Structure 1
Amino acid sequence: MNGNGARRIIPVITGIGHGQTELSAYDDALWKTGIGNFNVIALSSVIPPGWEPVLQSEPDLRRKWGNRLYVVQAAASSSGLRDTGLAAGIGWAIFDHGGGVFVEHHGAAADAASALQAVERDIELSIADLCERRAAVPARLGKATISATACGPCCVLAVAVFQQEDW
């Protein structure tokens, strides 16, 4: 929590990117989630006390070219040589002490609905395992998922944005 007792927000955003290659599709997904001009640094999945994941369409970030940006992310991509269902998602559990955990899953299947179903199942199973391992009952649960059918190079991205740092 910040000095006045309010929880700090972790924006959780999803996006679908397209491009001429899988890499440029990933860049497009980063761009569409509002973080395309940052150096993305992946974190493990522990939420510090005082922070709260919140679904947003785009993070409220000061745009500074090249800053470090700490995230938890799930991304699935395809070259699109054949139609492929893609899905990615992040789930979270917040415990009574204020801390929590993220889980991130991604996958591909014959169609987007099947890929999404598998990702959502994996999120639920992982959250259950992480809670059991910590002997903690979640006070709050949440998730953000996205799916698409890749008809060319495509990337689906779910990202939880912690904070940015200058160099």
Structure 2
Amino acid sequence: MEPLDLFDMRERYNRQQIMLCFNGPISRSLIEEIGNALRNYLEADHAHPSAAMDVFGVYIEMTQNIRHYARLKGWPEQEAAATVVIARDPQGRYVVSAGNLVEQADGEVLLAKIDELAPLDKSQLKAMYKEQLRKPRTDDAASGAGLGLIDIARKASEPLVGTLRQLPDERGFISLRAVI
């Protein structure tokens, strides 16, 4: 393993205004611990309460979705990993990004849903959210790219951005970015 240049990493994180970064297997307790750290950071940053709630909510939704997906697929811990970054953009808005391994076909479905949500305004997203809430849910129904994604889009101040990098063995790495 090549040695890490932590100073260089620190400087890069500072330039990109990264406040929190995690990469690795993600458990329920780890989601909670990182969430607590995020809340503390947002308080120290004097984030507006509604923005802090939205950032926290988006973080929780993204990380729980990643964990749920990996469990659903029965993947071992290393493949159930997440990469999560919370930063500020040049305008001072919060940017929540998360990525994980997916089956390529599942990633393509998620990207299509993100593209479907992108042109919608706040009132259209609200109507879609309410419509999704009214749909009957069954235990064996496929989940994913539904209510949670719509909720993230509602909290975002600009359209969600998703990318899918194709990997060998019919897998991909999906990334989702929300600006709050």
Question: TM > 0.5 between the two?
Answer: no
Q: TM-score, structure 2 length as denominator?
A: 0.25
Q: TM-score, structure 1 length as denominator?
A: 0.27
Larger helix proportion of the pair? 2
Larger strand proportion of the pair? 1
For CA contacts below 8 A with separation 6 or more, give which structure has more relative contact order: 1
